[in-house]
Structure 1
Amino acid sequence: MSDAITAGSVTITGHGGDQIEAYLARPLDPAPHGSVVVIHHMPGYDAATKEIVRRFAVDGFAALCPNLYSREAPDASPDDASAAVRAAGGVPDERLVGDVDGAARHLKSLEGANGKVGVIGYCSGGRQTFLSACSLRLDAAVDCYGAFVVNDPPPGMPSSMKPLLGLAPDLSCPLLGLFGGDDQYPGPEETAKLAAELDKLGKTHEFHTYEGAGHAFFSVDRPSYRPEAATDGWARILDFYGRHLAA
């Protein structure tokens, strides 16, 4: 399979019919491929997130990251846009689900799409991945250290971040969770509680916790980056999507 890709900014239809910016990358190989919606972390729609989108394309998936902050700060830097959205209370859950749905529909409309769509998110995007997988019909979901699925957030976090454990019965697809053993949000006790609830409900899930890794261990541009955990995590993500998003 060729690793040639095309990538760039596009406009998609998000929640409520809003036209929002998104970053799309896809293989040039004409073979049928699965698709992935990438939900960016709280720091925003940034260069590191776009690199993740391109990596999925190199590995044979069409990938699309909607700019969740398009409405509040369409022309701002990722840092300024993130600050503006946090000050406004964060991204409303209903709007997030609508934007992910719009991204999934866009991916399904592309030439070569096999009709299967997964979702992945990091940090706040991990929580939003769980929300999306419980609100939409998707084929696979990957939660990378998403906090506040189980526990309430501490003071100072956006008001939109409410626990989501009550949605677990509606989980529509297999879930892969990748967490840091040294993380506080979510801490190991929080992810264990989520795993126990999914076990009780008979929901398909795979959780892996990396000792010596904290929050944001996938972030190559941050001191929190842990190469061993990130390398193993990427291998698990690609295997998981290879199993669940294949034609």
Structure 2
Amino acid sequence: MRSWGGQAAAERREQKILQDAMQAGTVRITGAGGDEIEAYLARPLGPAPHGGVVVIHHMPGYDEPTKEITRRLASYGYAAICPNLYSREAPGASPDDAAATARAAGGVPDDRLVGDVAGAADHLRGLPAANGRVGVIGYCSGGRQAFLAACRLPLDAAVDCYGAFVVGEPPEDFPLRVPPLLDEAGSLHCPLLGMFGAEDQYPSPAQVAELDRELTRLGKPHEFHSYDGAGHGFFAVNRPAYRPEAATEGWQRIREFLDRQLSA
């Protein structure tokens, strides 16, 4: 017969197991135009209500590093989903081939991106134990798209990790053909966290400062952090641009920001 103390210890162990447990895998969601697209979902299995995060992949595509980011957010206690934005261009193709096809087309159209993020957010809100609060995070081109989604959708938080061309247009020889988004800043629906490298060119420190000034002028809540010695892609553990100190501190700031904005 188990003693009360032994039973309590067992319950604590079980609670810890549930707290750390997650489920991850491929799902199908409804994106822009009613299209069914692929997405990668990772979610905690504990019973406590949790917020959700839509992860927008970078231009290299729906790849393993982005799925790892999705799982990391689930380990923080969020249901996280990454829609495959290239599902239509190259269904079934490798991430590299799909990204090449998307680059050749100038990137994902903005309106379609917003529709795909809206579908991903709806999927998160419909999950068991969801608390109804959803944020968005993106890297590189995905950082720009996170800002765009936060201007056009009723989201609760947005994280822009070195999003290029929120301010300024791509150079002529750049594979991404998108307009700047500064004129949409007045429609930002939620607090914004920006993570930038001081050595980056897209966005440059001057462009980050311009966005900061405009959001301040508009009275939009935002928090920007720039890291010395870091350039574009400093979160990417599989690339030479990785800067562990900046990335470690950046992840801590991201977690604290999401905890503030997405808690029930």
Q: TM-score, normalised by structure 2?
A: 0.92
1:159, distance to aligned residue in structure 2 (A):
5.5
Task: Name the CA distance, whole Å, in 2 between partners of 1:130 and 1:87.
Answer: 23
Please give the residue correspondences for 1:51-200 in structure 2 after superposition, counting only pairs within 5 Å: 51-158=68-175, 160-200=177-217
Match of 2:239 in 1: 222
Q: Tell whether the 8 Å contact from 1:15 to 1:97 is kept in structure 2 after alignment.
A: yes
Secondary structure of the corresponding residue to residue 103 of structure 1: helix
* SS of residue matched to 1:141: strand
Q: Which amino acid aligns with 2:250?
A: G
Q: CA deviation at 1:76?
A: 1.0
Residues 87-140 of structure 1 show CA distances to partners (whole Å, capped at 9, x for unaligned) of 112100000000000000000000010000000000000000010000001000
| 1:240 aligned to which of 243, 253, 257 | 257
Q: Which amino acid aligns with 2:145?
A: Q
Q: Which stretches in structure 1 are left out of the alignment for 5+ residues? A: none
Alignment of 1:11-26 (within 5 A): 11-26=28-43
Runs of 4+ displaced beyond 3 Å: none
Q: How far apart, CA to CA, are the structure 1 residues paired with 2:178 and 2:71?
A: 29
Aligned-partner Cα distance in 2 for 1:235–1:69: 30
Structure 2 unaligned spans of 5+ = 1-15
Which amino acid letter does the alignment assign opposite residue 130 of structure 1?
F
Which amino acid in the other structure matches residue 227 of structure 1?
A: P
Which segment is superposed worse, 79-88 or 171-180?
79-88
Aligned CA RMSD, in angstroms, stands at: 0.8
Indicate conservation of the 8 Å contact 1:93/1:160, yes or no.
no
The TM-score with structure 1 as length reference comes to 0.99
Larger Rg: 2
Separation (CA, whole Å) in 2 of partners of 1:177 and 1:113: 25
Q: Distance in 2 between matches of 1:212 and 1:155?
A: 27
Which structure dedicates a bigger proportion of its chain to helix? Answer: 2
1:41 maps to 2:50: no
Distance in 2 (CA, whole Å) between partners of 1:177 and 1:107 is 23
Structure 1 residue 157: Cα displacement? 2.6
Q: Tell whether the 8 Å contact from 2:170 to 2:177 is kept in structure 1 after alignment.
A: no
The 8 Å contact of residues 218 and 230 in structure 1, kept in 2 or not, is answered as yes
Cα shift at 1:158: 4.0
Paired with 2:120 and 2:63, the residues of 1 have a C-alpha distance of: 17
Percent identity over paired residues? 70
Q: Deviations over 1:133-153 (max 9, x none)?
A: 000010000000001011111
Check conservation: 2:38, 2:84, Cα contact below 8 A: yes
Superposed CA deviations along residues 60-105 of structure 1, whole A, max 9, x for unmatched, are 0000000000001011111110110111121000000000000000
Q: Distance in 2 between matches of 1:58 and 1:196?
A: 34
1:7–1:25: 8 Å Cα contact kept in structure 2? yes
